[in-house]
């Protein structure tokens, strides 16, 4: 029986989705990216070698697996080709296995210029974007004047629309944001030069996925960022510019919701966040010997794309409950459990005090979340190592108790556990494709 799985991050991103997608592709014939852009960073470790992916689905690391970039992704063509070149120089075949939706909006130089100029103008009130042009590209899409992958193959139409677009955006850049304009001719020439390399990969991804499903092929839909960064359901306005939730897999890939059978929520065993925005269970990370410093250093908590240090804190069950509801999570995969090894007492945020009342669910919007005071429950830590353990019964007893408590607080079973960065360092209690 055909089964399709959606993998989503349930926190503020960086939960370890890439490794799990790579691991699950052993049972899939196709992997689909359905939102975001090259602001995503998925790090995989395979036989001790580290790979960093941004746009290309994590399934590319498995031979024979087809990869798709759906219409919900905003595509920087220059970055796509550089990522392909980097992978193929390492012996990984990409072009023959990658299909790019003709409906993907393009990220062009003026989008990045706008992104950077806006963040600079905000000063201390900046959102903390990656500066990759993601937000402005989605704005053009919603305003219905984006240039898309298909337009690259109609040079006259592309040139005319680009001129109109740059007339508008250069006015904003120079008059309002006091930044330099983007050169029209250079943008046009560079964009059209890339078209011949992209053409072999351009496809009707929606039709291709429907055909694969009809043929009985298992598909894996790979989310980027995390649910709490979702533009509708996250800590707005400190969010990304796309929908990061499981339901977006349908719209962002062009498939019916009935094709989505299981939602795997990736859950870090503690909580991290990159960039600005409220974070109720945050701990200071600068002082050596503190729990926050331990999580930051042992967990190697730096952004794959930006290199910025991630903010770290205790596990937040109230935030996870919100994600479970929004995504319809079927089962959880808990990652980075090994980072908690050696911590004497472990706290879980089970709810908040907000304006004199208690709540066990993350509020909507940044203003309310910023006023939340965490309510903690304390569990004993464990001294034994969990690194590389592959069987649940071999975990320290207190680590098992911690996982069971996460299950009971969130109402969803832990189906998988990651005990290290390598694809083989994984415990499976219930396989999502079974």
Give, in degrees to the nearest 5, the angle at Cα 215 between 424 and 46: 15
What's the length of the chain?
434
pLDDT score, position 122: 81
pLDDT score, position 82: 95
pLDDT score, position 179: 94
Asked whether 330 and 391 are in contact (CB, 8 A), the reply is: no
- DSSP letters along 321-340, please? HHHHHHHT--EEEEE-GGGG
User: Residue 276: is its pLDDT beyond 80?
Assistant: yes
Asked whether 295 and 285 are in contact (CB, 8 A), the reply is: yes
Within 10 angstroms of residue 425's Cβ, the number of other Cβ atoms is 19
pLDDT band at 143 (very low <50, low <70, confident <90, very high): very high
What's the predicted TM-score (pTM) here? 0.93
Pairwise CA distance, residues 333 & 403, whole Å: 10
Task: For residue 243, report the phi and psi dihedrals to the nearest 5 degrees.
Answer: -85, 125
Residues 6+ apart with CB under 8 A from 22: 44, 46, 58, 59, 61, 62, 423
pLDDT band at 130 (very low <50, low <70, confident <90, very high): confident
- 324-352 burial string, b = 16+ CB within 10 Å, else e? bebbbbbbbbbbbbbbbbebeebbbbbbb
Q: Is-catalytic flag, 360?
A: no
3-state secondary structure (DSSP) of residue 127: coil
Pairwise CA distance, residues 110 & 162, whole Å: 10
Asked whether 56 and 62 are in contact (CB, 8 A), the reply is: no
**pLDDT tens sequence across 302-334:** 876 667 789 999 999 999 999 999 999 999 999
In 3D space, the residue among 259, 251, 277 whose CA is nearest the CA of residue 13 turns out to be: 277
Dihedral sign, Cα of residue 393, residue 5, residue 349, residue 307: positive
Pairwise CA distance, residues 129 & 131, whole Å: 5
pLDDT score, position 123: 76
Q: Is-catalytic flag, 42?
A: yes
Pairwise CA distance, residues 403 & 423, whole Å: 20
pLDDT score, position 131: 83
Burial class (CB in 10 A: 0-12, 13-18, 19+), 202: middle
**pLDDT tens sequence across 189-239:** 999 999 999 999 999 999 999 999 999 999 999 999 999 999 999 999 999
**pLDDT tens sequence across 41-84:** 777 777 777 778 899 998 898 889 999 999 999 999 999 999 99
Which one from 42, 110, 233, 294 is the annotated catalytic residue? 42
Which one from 14, 140, 151, 230 is the annotated catalytic residue? 14
């Amino acid at each position: 029986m055909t089964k399709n799985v959606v993998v989503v991050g349930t926190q503020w991103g960086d939960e370890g989705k890439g490794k799990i997608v790579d691991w699950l592709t052993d049972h899939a014939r196709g992997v689909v990216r359905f939102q975001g852009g090259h602001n995503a960073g998925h790090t995989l470790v395979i036989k001790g070698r580290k790979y960093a992916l941004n746009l290309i689905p994590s399934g590319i690391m498995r031979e024979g697996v087809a990869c798709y970039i759906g219409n919900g992704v905003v595509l920087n063509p220059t970055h796509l080709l550089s990522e392909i070149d980097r992978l193929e120089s390492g012996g990984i075949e990409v072009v023959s296995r990658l299909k790019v939706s003709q409906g993907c909006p393009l990220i062009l130089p003026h989008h990045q210029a706008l992104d950077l100029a806006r963040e600079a103008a905000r000063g201390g009130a900046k959102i903390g974007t990656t500066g990759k042009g993601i937000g402005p590209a989605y704005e053009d899409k919603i305003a219905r004047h984006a240039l898309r992958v298909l337009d690259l193959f109609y040079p006259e139409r592309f040139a005319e629309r680009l001129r109109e677009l740059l007339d508008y955006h250069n006015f904003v850049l120079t008059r309002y944001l006091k930044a330099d304009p983007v050169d029209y001719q250079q943008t046009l020439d560079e964009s059209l030069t890339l078209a011949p390399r992209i053409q072999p990969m351009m496809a009707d991804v929606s039709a291709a996925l429907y055909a694969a499903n009809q043929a009985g092929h298992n598909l894996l839909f790979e989310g980027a960022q995390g649910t709490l960064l979702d533009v509708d359901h996250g800590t707005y306005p400190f969010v990304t510019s796309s929908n990061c939730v499981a339901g977006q897999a349908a719209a962002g890939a062009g498939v019916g919701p009935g094709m989505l059978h299981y939602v795997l929520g990736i859950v870090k065993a503690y909580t991290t966040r990159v960039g600005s925005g409220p974070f109720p269970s945050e701990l200071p990370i600068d002082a050596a010997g503190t729990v926050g410093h331990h999580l930051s250093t042992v967990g190697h908590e730096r952004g794959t794309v930006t290199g910025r240090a991630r903010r770290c804190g205790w596990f937040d069950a109230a935030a996870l409950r919100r994600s479970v509801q929004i995504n319809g999570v079927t089962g959880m995969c808990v990652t980075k459990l090994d980072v908690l090894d050696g911590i004497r007492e472990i706290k879980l945020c089970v709810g908040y005090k907000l304006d004199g009342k208690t709540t066990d669910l993350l509020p909507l919007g940044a203003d309310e979340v910023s006023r939340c005071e965490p309510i903690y429950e304390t569990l004993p830590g464990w001294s034994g190592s969990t690194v590389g353990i592959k069987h649940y019964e071999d975990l320290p007893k207190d680590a098992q108790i911690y996982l069971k408590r996460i299950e009971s607080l969130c109402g969803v079973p832990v189906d998988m556990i990651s005990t290290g960065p390598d694809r083989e360092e994984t415990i499976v209690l219930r396989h999502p494709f079974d």
